[in-house]
Amino acid sequence: MQSIYGITLLKLEQEMLELGEKKFKALQIYDWLYKKRVSSFDDMSNLKKELISKLKTKYFFESLKLIDKLEDEFVSKFLFKLNDGNKIEAVLMRHDYGNSLCVSTEVGCNMGCAFCESGRLKKVRVLEVNEMVEQILFIENNLNIRISHVVLMGIGEPFDNYNNVMDFIKIINEPKGIALGARHITISTCGIIPKIKDFMKENLQVNLAISLHAPNNELRNRLMPINKAYPLEDLISILKEYVKKTHRRLTFEYIMLKDINDTKECALELVDLLKGINCYVNLIPYNETSHIEFKRSSNDSVMKFYDILKKNGLAVTVRREFGSKVMAACGQLRSHYEEG
């Protein structure tokens, strides 16, 4: 059996034909799932009993169970258990422009970024499509809200789960599905060049964010092992090609680490590295964790860094801080439960 939440509309239409049904039955099912939000085939009142019986033998519904939920004024963090007992997180952030959900794409992560909590617990497996879709459905239902933005910045490297992530995007972007606008979806990657090349060909209006965090190879090698496979000069080259082909503006994420990457010299190197690229830089205050020795940059250091980028013509923002009281660092709540 497979999850009904893991199937794109196109695939479901094909599966209806294979069941001897009309293609439009897939549209009816999608309407029940994503507009009316039923959680049982028996509630799909315009489907014949014969079809409902077929559906029950082929598909199942939910696979997420809530273990814990932590809340702050602007943040709700959810810890879920999957059918196989593994755990993942999702974080809801309330902005003035809407509700943004940070979803997980893997159980654990193999990228091994030195500052990242989720990378300490290695990748167990990728998430299935339905396990990503259900993060949205569960939280909308639990909080009685509409999620307006989705960012793939939770546990895992999205491009390490490429095919499932692409199907996930098709489902949440589908007008007959969750109907989330493509420009309200952001994929964050640490820079897997072959997958960036694939993504360029998808013809999607989805935003791409690059976890950069260092302006030179020496420092990035220390912080992010992926840089040894795909060094900065190669990454920047493909990103320039991406901008030229897609006409989409890039985001570069840069976590501010005290006395590591927050110096004047680093700021000037970053200016040189990103010169001429249609992008903006998002400076991120670091969420410290008990397992990792890095410390957050002072507000003064962040603002001096910001000023250098701004004065040299880079578009730059400082991310509003969220969730330090609810273990909002990526993977922090999960590791708390896994390791006690």
Is residue 232 within 8 A of residue 273, CB to CB? The reply is: yes
Alpha helices of 120-213 — where are they, by DSSP H?
Answer: 129-143, 162-173, 193-200
One of 13, 15, 89, 157 is an active-site residue; which one? 89
CATH, residue 42: 1.10.150.530
Which residue matches tokens 């491009």?
159
Picking from 13, 42, 60, the residue at the C-terminal end of a domain is 60
- Total domain count, the chain: 2
Together in a domain, 178 and 90:
yes
Together in a domain, 48 and 98:
no
| Residues facing 315 on adjacent strands | 280
Together in a domain, 260 and 134:
yes
CATH, residue 263: 3.20.20.70
Together in a domain, 143 and 17:
no
Together in a domain, 32 and 162:
no
User: What pTM did the predictor assign?
Assistant: 0.92
Together in a domain, 101 and 10:
no
Together in a domain, 251 and 272:
yes
What domain range is 50 assigned to? 2-60
113 is an active site residue:
no
Together in a domain, 320 and 228:
yes
One of 102, 109, 190, 330 is an active-site residue; which one? 330
C-alpha–C-alpha distance, residues 123 and 161, integer Å: 11
Picking from 32, 60, 88, the residue at the C-terminal end of a domain is 60
Instruction: Give me the numbers of helices (H) and strands (E) for the chain, helices first please.
Output: 12, 14
Together in a domain, 20 and 72:
no
C-alpha–C-alpha distance, residues 53 and 130, integer Å: 21
293 is an active site residue:
no
pLDDT in tens, the chain (340 residues): 899 999 999 999 999 999 999 999 999 999 999 999 999 999 999 999 999 999 999 999 988 999 999 998 899 999 999 999 999 999 999 998 999 999 999 999 999 999 987 666 789 999 999 999 999 999 999 999 999 999 999 999 999 999 999 999 999 999 999 999 999 999 999 999 999 999 999 989 999 999 999 999 999 999 999 999 999 999 999 999 999 999 999 999 999 999 999 999 999 999 999 999 999 999 999 988 766 789 999 999 999 999 999 999 999 999 876 555 545 455 455 444 454 4
Together in a domain, 227 and 262:
yes
The HSE-up count of residue 219 (CA atoms within 13 Å, CB side) is 16
Together in a domain, 95 and 236:
yes
Together in a domain, 132 and 278:
yes
